[in-house]
Structure 1
Amino acid sequence: MDSISPNRRFWNRISSAYQREHDPQIGATPRLWGTYAIPDAHLNALGDVTGKRVLELGCGAGQWSRALAAEGATVVGLDLSEAQLAAAAHAMGAARYPLVQGAAEHLPFAAESFDVVFCDYGGLSWAPGHLAVPQAARVLRRGGRLVFNAASPWFEACYDEAGGRATTTLHQDYFGLDTIAEDQGAVSYQLTYGDWIRVLRGAGLVIDDLIEPRPEPGTVNGYNQTDPPDWAHRWPAEMLWVTHKPTD
């Protein structure tokens, strides 16, 4: 299904409210992964990007992109939503970088243009993986890295739609994970772990690590209230894939 148009409308509608609610967390400190704001220094997923050409898929208001540009990366921020890109331009500050409107499943860049492609949720949560991952692999240079964080299929399988939260009971068919209906006709995407592996390997990428970020007991989900206390300490709420494109 083509989710580009409804997802673009959705993010254009909610952008201002989303940034008001979430920027205090995701914009406060650089390089924090996911809804539990776990530092990259603890997970060592993205690593040093100084002097590298970096593409953020679904940059939103550019919180990650600003931080990496300030570190000396040559960053390009891509987003489907004009409103999100306007928020990124407004907040850009001294660390200037290009902003491009586009979809993760149709990247408007030449092959082998980037050393790193990454997202924290973003493009690989809001585009079909079997389309977006090959695009990310195409624009990566040899030896380049694709690193992305997304909701775990465990979280999706335990999510109670009626209650609007994860539970300790399975609610969704794990093998039926694919499209997830969001508000206002928007669609996000999820795969099983096996399907993620097949999509990544099918795009010619080597999987270096699968990190399941685990917050310490008592850590509050600062992004939303969908998890009962310590749910993500006991089961994986997110998955952080670290991959690279072979050199030969």
Structure 2
Amino acid sequence: MDSIPANRRLWNQISSAYQHEHDPQIGATPRLWGMYSIPDAHLHALGDVTGKRVLELGCGAGQWSRALAAEGATVVGLDLSEAQLAAAADAMGAARYPLVQGAAEQLPFAADSFDLVFCDFGGLSWAPPHLAVPQAARVLTRGGRLVFNVASPWFEVCYDEAASRVTTTLQKDYFGLNSIAEDDGATSYQLTYGDWVKVLRGAGLIIDDLIEPRPDLGTPNGYNETDPPDWAHRWPAELLWVTHKP
């Protein structure tokens, strides 16, 4: 299934509204992971990036890329949407870095080009993982790391489409997780724990850690309604995978 054209159209349509709603939070502080804006300093997923060649898959308006470039990384921001890339270019400031239009499942880079490939609800949420993960592994150097944050399958199977909120009730089959129909024909992707392991190992990657970010009580979800409000304090809402290429 080629989801690239529809996903590109969707993100071009929603880019302005998305950045207007979310940039004040995610753009204000560097290195914030996921729906609950948990600092990387608490999760220790990326580590020191000084002097590293870094690729962000689905950079959006460049909040992460901008911060890592300022820390001394050589960053490339990749995104499918030209509207998102325009937002990144407008916000770039002094810490300048290249922006490339492309898809995570068709990376336009040579093998062994990067020391770190990462995303936070970016390319690995909006590209088929069985295609995108091997591409990420291909462009990594030996010893290079793939680090990415995606929604937990728990979150997905408890999401009530009709009510537009996450609940404490199972709403769909866990073993049916794969592609998810989004607005205007776009597609996002979600795997079970076991399928993520198969995809990562199949690409030749070593899994170093699986972090399930747990927000403190009272931490708001900036993207989804949840019932109860502290859903993610009780059950894992996100998976932060830390892997490397041997």
Query: Which band: TM-score by shorter chain?
Result: over 0.9
Q: Residues 232, 203 of structure 1: CA spacing in aligned structure 2 closer, same or farther, 3 A cutoff?
A: same
Secondary structure of residue in 1 paired with 2:59: coil
| Counterpart for residue 159 of structure 2 | 159
* Unmatched runs of 5 consecutive residues or more in structure 2: none
CA distance in 2, matches of 1:182, 1:17: 17
- Ranges in structure 1 where 5+ consecutive residues have no aligned partner: none
The answer to whether residue 136 in structure 2 is matched with residue 136 in structure 1 is yes
2: CA distance, partners of 1:226 / 1:124: 23
Counterpart code for 2:224:
N
- What does residue 2 of structure 1 align with? 2
SS in 2 for 1:111: coil
Residue 126 in 1 paired to residue 126 in 2? yes
Matched, 1:176 2:176: yes
Cα RMSD over matched residues?
0.7
- Extract structure 1 runs of 4+ deviating beyond 6 A: none
What's the offset of the Cα at 1:223?
3.0
Question: Contact 1:31 / 1:40 at 8 angstroms: preserved in 2?
Answer: yes
**Are residues 227 and 143 of structure 1, via their aligned partners in 2, closer, same or farther at CA, if it must alter by over 3 Å?**
farther
The alignment partner of 2:6 has SS state of: helix
- Secondary structure, counterpart of 1:126 in structure 2: coil
**Structure 2 residue 66 is the aligned partner of structure 1 residue 66:** yes
- The aligned residue for residue 231 of structure 1 is 231
Q: Does residue 1:24 correspond to 2:24, yes or no? A: yes
Tell whether 2:166 aligns with 1:190.
Answer: no
2:107 matched residue in structure 1: 107
| Matching of residues 82-97 of structure 1 within 5 Å | 82-97=82-97
- Write the letter of the residue equivalent to 2:154: W
Please report how far the alpha carbon of residue 209 of structure 1 lies from its aligned counterpart in structure 2 after TM superposition. 0.3
Comparing 214-223 with 69-78, which one deviates more in the overlay? 214-223
- Aligned-pair distance for 1:218? 1.3
Deviations, residues 74-114 of structure 1 (Å, cap 9, x unaligned): 00000000000000000000000000000000000000000
Q: Which residue of 2 aligns with 1:42?
A: 42
Tell me the percent identity: 86
CA contact (8 A) 1:221 1:227 kept: no
Q: Secondary structure at the match of 1:9?
A: helix
Secondary structure of the structure 1 residue equivalent to 2:64: helix
Q: Deviations over 1:50-97 (max 9, x none)?
A: 000000000000000000000000000000000000000000000000
1:25–1:223 contact (8 Å) kept in structure 2: no
Matching residue of 1:218: 218
- Distance in 2 (alpha carbons) for counterparts of 1:79 and 1:43: 25
Distance in 1 separating the partners of 2:49 and 2:223: 26
Matched letter for residue 55 of structure 1 = L
Whether contact under 8 Å (2:57, 2:77) holds in the other structure is: yes
- Give 1:226 deviation, angstroms: 4.2
Describe the superposition over 1:160-210 as per-residue Cα deviations: whole angstroms up to 9, x where unpaired. Answer: 111111110101110000111111111100000000000000000000000
Aligned length: 246
Task: Find the residue that maps to 1:77 and give its secondary structure.
Answer: strand
Give the Cα separation in 2 of the matches to 1:98 and 1:149: 23
Secondary structure, aligned partner of 2:219: coil
TM-score scaled by structure 2?
0.99
Q: Which amino acid aligns with 2:114?
A: F
Contact kept? 2:168, 2:227, Cα under 8 Å:
no
- More displaced, 224-233 or 153-162? 224-233
